[in-house]
Amino acid sequence: MKQYNKFIPVYLEICPERLYKRISSNQHIYCSLYKCILKKFTFYEQVLPNHKYGITLQQRYQQETFLLDSEKEFRKWFLLFKRYFFLDKFKQKFKVLNRSKMTDPLFGQCYYNCIHSNNYKLVKLIDKTIITNYQLQCLSKAISNLRKLKNYFNNIVIL
């Protein structure tokens, strides 16, 4: 993180919807990941030759830049961040089997039965160019609830 023209390493932790930054042993602040924009870039400066990769989080006028030195760490953090953002493009390849009979009260008939990596999925396609503010609010709330459920079930230990 850039602060007073020098870079200070910090300890970061991701929880659903928030990125926590530990300042000291008993103090921490957080950044809400809700409606952030995620960008990745390669970085080189002679002052910091070890830091080659960067990730930028931007929410309106606030921006945080994270610099990393290893490609492995960069991929790990980018994949973690990517789960919490609206992405520009849908990059996974799905084989569409058929249109589902389910209908959504807000978006209409937008569900498709698909297969990806030998797993059956129900995919919801939404045209972002014609979405209203109310629909975006409802969609964000539904995504937030799904992330909390996923995090809850990932933390359960089965004995």
The residue among 51, 82, 113 that closes a domain is 82
Q: Which of 82, 106, 128 is where one domain is finished?
A: 82
Dist. CA 59–CA 31, nearest whole Å: 10
Work out the pLDDT band at 43, boundaries 50, 70, 90.
low
Domain hosting residue 34, numbered range: 2-82
Question: Is the domain of 26 the same as that of 62?
Answer: yes
Q: What is the mean pLDDT of the chain?
A: 72
Residues 119 and 57 in one domain: no
- Higher per-residue pLDDT: 145 or 90: 145
Indicate whether 104 and 77 sit together in one domain: no
Mean pLDDT along residues 34-63: 72
Q: What is the C-alpha to C-alpha distance for residues 33 and 59, in angstroms, rounded to an integer?
A: 8
- E strands in 2-152: 2-3, 6-7, 11-15, 18-22, 28-32, 37-42, 53-59, 62-68, 95-99, 111-116, 119-124
Give a yes or no: residue 159 inside a domain. Answer: no
Q: Could you give the residue ranges of the DSSP H alpha helices within the chain?
A: 71-82, 133-154
Q: What is the pLDDT of residue 35?
A: 67
SS3 85: coil
Cα 30 to Cα 18: distance, rounded to the nearest angstrom: 6
pTM above 0.85, yes or no: no
Residue 34 in domain? yes
**How crowded is residue 151: how many other Cβ atoms within 10 Å of its Cβ?**
13
CA distances from 14 to 30, 76, 101 (A): 9, 12, 37
Count of structural domains, the chain? 2
CA-to-CA dists, residue 120 to 24, 101, 138, angstroms? 45, 16, 25
The domain boundary residue, chosen from 82, 104, 134: 82
Of the candidates 88, 98, 100, 105, the one whose C-alpha atom is nearest the C-alpha of residue 139 is 105
Contacting residues for 147 by C-beta, under 8 A, at least 6 apart: 16, 17, 83, 84
Predicted confidence (pLDDT) per residue in 4-13, tens digit: 455 566 666 6
Check whether residue 56 and residue 106 sit in a common domain: no
Identify whether residues 70 and 9 lie together within a single domain.
Answer: yes
Is 90 contained in some domain?
no
User: Which of 26-30, 58-62, 100-104, 142-146 is the most confident on average?
Assistant: 100-104
* Domain co-membership, 9 together with 44: yes
- Does residue 89 fall inside a structural domain? no
24 in the same domain as 72: yes
- What's the pLDDT band for 38 if we cut at 50, 70, 90? confident
CATH no. for residue 60? 2.30.29
71 and 30, same structural domain? yes
* Residues 78 and 103 both lie in one domain: no
